[in-house]
Amino acid sequence: MSYVPNPRPAGDFRTTYKDDNRLFKTHFETRSALVLLAVVIVAAPFIGNYWLTQLILIGIYAIAAIGLNILVGTTGQISLGHAAFFGFGAFASAWLANSFGVPVLIAMPAAAVLTTAVGMIFGVPAARIKGLYLAIATLASQFILTDFFSRADWFSGGVYGALAERPSIFGFAFDSDLRYFYLVMFWLVVTAVAVTNLLRSRDGRAFVAVRDHYLSAEVMGVNLTKYRILSFGISSFFAGLAGALFGHYLEYVSVEGFTILLSIQFLAMIIIGGLGSVYGAILGAAFILLLPQVMESLTTMAAYVFPAMESGKSYVKQMSIGAAIILFLIFEPEGLIHRWQQIRASWKLFPFSR
Amino acid sequence: MKWELFFQLLINGLIVGMLYGVVAMCFVLIYKSTQVVNFAQGEFLVLGAWVCLALVTNMQLPFFLAFIFTLIFMVAFGIIVQTVILRPLIGEPIISVIMVTIGLSIFMQALMNWIFGNDAKRFPDVFGTTDVINIAGLNVEVAYLLSLVLSVVIMAVFFWFFRFTRHGLAMRATAFDQQIAQSLGISVKQTFAMAWAISAMVSGVAGIVIGIVNSVSNSLAFVGIKVFPAVILGGLDSIVGAVVGGIIVGVLENLAEFADGQYLHLGNLYTIAPFYVLIIILMIKPYGLFGTKDIERI
C-alpha cells in the first residue's frame, strides 16, 4: 500500500489512547461530516423524484457494501454470495411482515438478524478454507440460496415473489419517496457509525489482523474461527438490513432480483470505493449506481452519430461495470477513497506537495 | 424402461462429464501455472463457439477452415488477455486477481450478447451429427460420440504435451516454482502467456463441441460455473483431478436428474446438486481428491 501522508493540524498532539481512537480524527472531519449530512437532509425535498430514487438506492446499496467491506476489505475473506444474503433479508422481512404481522419497522432489523444466522451457517466453511476456495464456496452459497428462494413457497412466495408493504409507525406511513429516503438515511448513518466504531474496537483490530497475517494473529491470541465466522455474520447482518429496506422500497420482492451479477456489483462497489473504508463503500455504491446511467446517456448521445449504438444501450451498461472493475484494479487498486486522500493531502501540504 | 433411462442418463453424464473435464483442465492449467483463478473460463468457451459459428454462417467458410481460424483467434485472444489485463496484477492480492477475471467475464458477456444476439443458434449440420446410432440397446447421438472422441484426443494431447515436450516441461517447472524456473532460463512471461493461450484455445474447442451438440447461446457460459465443483472435487492443482472431477460432476448431474424425475419430484435438481456436493467436499476434504495439501510451517 503506497504511503499517503495524512497530516494533522499543528497543535493536535493526541496525548491519550482515547484521543488516538476517536471516531473522527479531527474537528474538521466531525464538522464536515455533519455539514454533509445536514445538506443532504435539507436538500432532499427539492431535488426531484429521479434523484431521490437514486439517493435511496445508493443509500441501500451503500449499507450492503459497508457490510461486505467488513468481510472482504477488513477481514480479507472473499464473498461472491452477498446478493443472496441481500435477497434473504428482503424475503425474510416480507415474510415476517406478511405471515406474522410483525410491524415492518421491526421486521427489518429482525430480518437482518435472521440473515446473520444464515450468513454464519454459510460462513462455517470459512473457518477451514480461505482465499480462492472460500470464493468458490460462497459462489455455491449464492446458487443454493437463490435456488431456495425459488423453491420455498412458504417463505418467498416461490416464483411469484412476495409483496412487501411500506412501513408505518403510529399512523405515520413511510409511503412517499421522501419519507422513505429519511428512513434509509437513518439506517445508513447508523450503519456507518456502528461499523466505524467496530473497526476501532478490539474486534475490528482482530479482523485486520486476520486479514494481514492470520498465523501471527492466531499466535497473538485471536481466535481465527470465531472471527472469520463473526465477520460473515456481521456482513450478512448489514446485507439483510439493506435487503429489507430494498424489498419494502420496491414493495415487491422477486426471485430474479438477486443474481450473481448483483453480488459482483457489490464487490465492484467496495473495490472501486476502496477496500476497508466506510466512506469508500458509500462512494463506490454511488459510482456503481450512477455509472450505468451516465453510460446510457452517453450512448444515447453517441446514437445520434452512430445509429448502431442505439441497440447496445443495455449492454453498454453492463460492459461499463466490467470495464470499471478491470480499469480500477489495474490503475487504482486502492479505490476512489485513496484518490480523495491524495487530493486532500496535496491540498493540506500545498506549497510542498508538488 | 426405468433402468434403460438410468443407463441413458449415465452415458449422457459420462459424455457431458468428459467435456466438463476438458474445460476444468483448461481452468487448472491457468491456475497451476499462473496462480490465477479464471472466472471467465465459461465466456472463453462461448466466445470460441460464437466465432466459429460466425465464420461458418456469415463468412460461409467450410467448417474445417473455420475451426482452424477459431483456434488461431483464441490463441491470440488468450495472449492479449494475459498481457493486457493480468500481467499488471502479478503480485497483487488474490481478491484483485479474482475480481479482474470476474470483471472480464461480465464485460465479455455483455459484449457477446450485443454482437451475437441473445438467441440460441444452431451449427449447420456438418457431420450428420443429429443421426442416432444404437449401441447395446442405447441410443447415442453421433454428436455425443464425436465430442467423446474429441475430449479423449484433447486429454491425450495434454498428456503428451506436458510429459514429452520442452514447453510442457517449462510450464511444469514454472508451476512448481517460478523463481527456480526463471533462474534455469525459462521465460516466465512467455510461459504465462502460453498457458493462457492454450487454455483459451482448448476452451474454444470445447465450446465448439458443446455448440454442435446443443446449440450456441450465451447460456453456455454456465459450463464455466459448473467447472468449479469439478475442480474442487478433483483438487485445484491437479490435471488428472480436473478430468475425474469433471466426469463425476457430469454423471452426478444426470443421476440427480434421474432421482429427481423418478422419486423426488423436486424439479431442477440437476443444476443445483453439484453445488451441494461442492460445499460438502469443502467441509470434509478441502484439497479435493488429487490436490496437493498445503502444509504450513511457521
Reported as type and span, the H/E element at residue A285 is helix A278-305
**What is the Cα B45 distance to its own chain's centre?**
7
Q: How many CB pairs under 8 A join A and B?
A: 124
Question: Most confidently modeled of A168-172, A303-307, B29-33, B269-273?
Answer: B29-33
Looking up cell 467496530 gives A198
Q: How confident is the model over A14-22, as a mean pLDDT?
A: 70
Q: What is the pLDDT along chain B (298 residues), one digit of tens a residue?
A: 577 778 888 888 888 888 888 889 888 888 888 888 888 888 999 999 999 988 888 888 888 888 899 999 999 999 999 999 888 888 777 788 888 998 999 899 888 888 888 787 877 766 665 666 766 666 677 777 778 888 888 888 888 888 888 888 888 888 888 888 888 888 888 888 988 999 999 999 888 888 887 778 888 888 888 888 888 888 877 888 888 888 988 888 888 887 777 776 666 777 788 888 888 887 777 777 777 776 666 5
CA Rg value for chain A: 21
CA B196 to chain A, closest CA, distance in angstroms equals 18
Q: Which residue has the higher pLDDT, B136 or A2?
A: B136
Looking up cell 478491470 gives A326
C-alpha cell belonging to residue A231: 465477520
List residues in chain B touching A: CB distance below 8 A: 37, 85, 88-89, 92-96, 98-100, 102-111, 113-114, 225, 228-229, 232, 236, 266, 268, 271-272, 275-276, 278-279, 282-283, 286, 296, 298
Reported as type and span, the H/E element at residue A69 is helix A48-69
The backbone region for A48, taken as left when phi is positive above 0, alpha when psi lies in -120 to 50, beta otherwise, is left
Q: How far is CA B24 from CA A21, A47, A254, B37, B236, in A?
A: 49, 52, 33, 11, 9
What does residue B87 show for φ and ψ, rounded to 5 degrees?
Answer: -65, -40
In chain A, what are the domain boundaries?
43-278
Question: Most confidently modeled of A26-40, A159-173, A233-247?
Answer: A233-247
C-alpha cell belonging to residue A226: 470465531
| Per-residue model confidence (pLDDT) at position B71 | 92
Q: Is the pLDDT of residue A3 over 50?
A: no
Q: How confident is the model over A47-70, as a mean pLDDT?
A: 90
Up-side HSE of residue B141: CA atoms within 13 Å toward CB? 16
Q: How confident is the model over A330-345, as a mean pLDDT?
A: 82
DSSP states along B274-291: HHHHHHHHHHH-TTTTTP
Give CA–CA dist A292/A321, Å, rounded: 7
Q: How many helices (H) and strands (E) does chain A have?
A: 16, 4
For chain A, give the mean pLDDT: 83
Select from B37, B107, B275 the Cβ nearest to the Cβ of A132: B37
Q: How far is CA A24 from CA A126, A207, A242, B11, B17, in A?
A: 32, 20, 25, 65, 56
Which residue of B90, B109, B275, B293 is the best one to mutate when testing the A interface, meaning the one whose CB has the most A CBs within 10 A? B275
| Per-residue model confidence (pLDDT) at position A111 | 92
Does ipTM surpass 0.85 in this model?
Answer: no
Give CA–CA dist A273/B290, Å, rounded: 39
| Per-residue model confidence (pLDDT) at position A33 | 80
Q: How far is CA A135 from CA A67, A79, B180, in A?
A: 17, 6, 29
- A2 confidence band (pLDDT: 50, 70, 90): very low
**What is the Cα A97 distance to its own chain's centre?**
24
CB B250 within 8 A of CB B18: yes
Reduce the DSSP state of residue A162 to 3 states and report it. strand
- Any chain B CB within 8 A of the CB of A132? yes
| Per-residue model confidence (pLDDT) at position B175 | 81
Q: Is the pLDDT of residue A239 over 90?
A: yes
CA Rg value for chain B: 19
* Residue A71 DSSP class: I
